[in-house]
Amino acid sequence: MNLPLPDLGIPSGDTVIKLSTLLPLAVVIAHLVPYLTDPFNQRSIPGPFLAKFSDIWLGWVSSLSHRSDVVHELHKKYGPLVRLAPNHVSVADPDALQVVYAHGNGSLKSDFYDAFVSIHRGLFNTRDRVQHTRKRKIVSHIFSPKSVLEFEPIARSYMVQLFQQWDRLYDSALEGNSGDDGEGGWYGRDGMLWFDCLPWYNYLAFDIIGDLAFGSPFGMIMSAKDSAPVAVSHKDAMGSYGSEHECEVIHIPAVQILNRRGEYSASMGVLPPHWRPYARLLPWYRQGSKAVENLAGIAVAAVAKRLTTPTDRVDLLSKLQEGRDDEGRPMGKEELTAEALTQLIAGSDTTSNSSCAISYYIALHPHVQEKLQKELDEASGTEDDGVFTYEQVKRLPYLEAVVNEGLRVHSTSSLGLPRVAPEGGLTIKGVHFPQGTVLSVPTYTIHRDTQAWGEDADQFRPERWFERDHTAMQKAFNPFSYGPRACVGRNLASMELLIIISSIFRRYHFVLAEPDKPLDTREGFLRKPLECRVGIKRRRIWRLV
């Protein structure tokens, strides 16, 4: 007797065959229809074949960590307009910076920035214009030139710590000692200390910004370790934000986590929002998402501590606490935490990677180092302590040219920052892009534009800043971006870079361990050096106070 089979919800063979035919068909149609209907007028724009149909191409390139180099090669091949995704055109033309990013053109940040959100949106990843304007008003006065000067003593105090540590290693290396600092080790040879200076620039930048943004340094320079306190919930991490009583404080490698977070968010951000929950199921993305969470914990611990132990010191956090919007309202605890986190993220490895790359290029070009050191020696007073003041170095022409040239050749923000064309669209190079088109101008390529920078645009040569048309160069110089979303911390960053580079190169002479080896980099959201092994020789003992 044939009994009817119970319905277990298992698809029959026929259904499986149908699904396996229909699913790929649906995927093909979903990619082909936008290509054929061409809602953003991009079909005529050249680019990699797969990029015309799918965001996967850009997601894949981003995950390989050299996006700016790849996009640069595409511009060499196809010209100033390149299609990077079904709805994303890269425009390699300095004039386009004004069109895409300038004040008043109405473009907004794209959904790329949603992948950078944790706890609460901060200034950097707020896409809504009204909310951004409100936040920017509160935050921008904190970074005015006058305000930034109040932070100078804190920044200089960490330079003193850095010199104490380098001098200690130097003296020890010259006595024949060596050590394993977990970063390839340090040792003495030919009267020099040989080590990787990159981690030290990270410790320096994190200690400065940790102190400024949270009121307590991470102590990385003195411990010579990538380690920052973070709040961990006894319940679940996201649920803990805002309730410090349920948190325990542990130490985590913040630099490493920030690197991981940048790579995760930059490659997640180029995927369409509806794919992202599925991408998060993959182990690489799951770990990246954890990194975003851990990093937020650093801000939670620090802000909670500050709120329970008020202080009268002047720092970024106290200024954020004092800030009021147009209706006189202060920031709530969550917003305060998110903004402190934003400043930690935006103001730490940007500065350290830039300092490291500038140092690399100075060391690579002995004549630049010699000329710079001459200018720095002449600017030194007899009563100086070991660290220059901003006043002493803010108008040294060669130093400025060296720093600018370093920021040009190695712009840590290299990739084209995506913006959405506003109502009415935007017209660039005679092509009209309707509302909703995603456009970006790749800083890496603009910084190598031969019309602006000369035929030797690939070379590090500070002298070009005295030889060429300044207006054309400034128009193509984009390390801090343009317009309403340009770097709000630029004054602080410039002060830090001038003090760091001037004080370090007055005190030490640098030699590259492998001068023939290019600076290896890895790009997530930022383009970062991977290491910078150098030999340093102390030029003169400046008294440290």
Whole-angstrom distance, CA of residue 318 vs CA of residue 399 = 32
* Three-state DSSP state, 324: coil
Q: How far is the CB of 427 from ligand HEM (least distance, A)?
A: 22
- Is residue 323 near ligand HEM by the rule CB under 6 A? no
Applying CB under 6 A, the span of 27-35, 239-247, 363-371, 475-483 interacting with ligand HEM comes to 475-483
- Is residue 402 near ligand HEM by the rule CB under 6 A? no
Which residue's C-beta sits nearest to ligand HEM? 489
Whole-angstrom distance, CA of residue 518 vs CA of residue 309 = 47
CB within 8 Å of 13: residues ≥ 6 apart: none
Q: Running DSSP on this structure, what letter comes out for residue 229?
A: E
For ligand HEM, how many residues bind (rule: CB under 6 A)? 23
- Is residue 350 near ligand HEM by the rule CB under 6 A? yes
- The footprint of ligand HEM on residues 429-458 (CB under 6 A) is none
Q: For residue 290, what are the β-bridge partners?
A: none
The 10 Å Cβ neighbour count of residue 390 is: 19
The 10 Å Cβ neighbour count of residue 352 is: 28
- Is residue 417 near ligand HEM by the rule CB under 6 A? yes
Residue 296 is encoded by which pair of tokens?
A: 């937020």
Computed on alpha carbons and rounded to an integer, the radius of gyration of the chain in Å comes to 25
In one letter, which amino acid is 14? Answer: D
Q: Considering beta carbons, is residue 167 or 211 the nearer one to ligand HEM?
A: 211
Q: How far is the CB of 487 from ligand HEM (least distance, A)?
A: 3
Residue 12 is encoded by which pair of tokens?
A: 């029959």
- Is residue 318 near ligand HEM by the rule CB under 6 A? no
Q: How far is the CB of 290 from ligand HEM (least distance, A)?
A: 23
- Is residue 298 near ligand HEM by the rule CB under 6 A? no
- Is residue 342 near ligand HEM by the rule CB under 6 A? yes
Q: For residue 527, what are the β-bridge partners?
A: 523
- Is residue 124 near ligand HEM by the rule CB under 6 A? yes
Applying CB under 6 A, the span of 161-169, 304-312, 341-349, 422-430 interacting with ligand HEM comes to 341-349
Smallest Cα–Cα separation from 438: which of 93, 55, 69, 72? 55
Helix (H) or strand (E) holding 470: helix 470-475
Q: Running DSSP on this structure, what letter comes out for residue 543?
A: P
Whole-angstrom distance, CA of residue 413 vs CA of residue 418 = 12
Applying CB under 6 A, the span of 85-93, 196-204, 268-276, 347-355 interacting with ligand HEM comes to 347-355
Sign for the pseudo-dihedral over CA of 363, 462, 480, 420: negative
Q: Considering beta carbons, is residue 188 or 347 the nearer one to ligand HEM?
A: 347
- Phi, psi for 378 (deg, rounded to 5): -70, -30
| Binder of ligand HEM out of 31, 66, 134, 136 (CB under 6 A) | 136
Specify whether the CB–CB gap between 53 and 448 falls below 8 A: no
What is the contact mask toward ligand HEM in residues 208 to 237, using x (rule: CB under 6 A)?
A: -x----------------------------
Is 532 labelled as part of a ligand binding site?
Answer: no
| Binder of ligand HEM out of 343, 437, 503, 521 (CB under 6 A) | 343
| Binder of ligand HEM out of 97, 493, 498, 512 (CB under 6 A) | 493
Residue 197 is encoded by which pair of tokens?
A: 């200076």
| Binder of ligand HEM out of 481, 513, 519, 522 (CB under 6 A) | 481
Binding-site residue positions: 487
Interface residues with ligand HEM (CB under 6 A)? Answer: 123-124, 136, 209, 342-343, 346-347, 350-351, 354, 412-413, 417, 479-481, 485, 487-489, 492-493
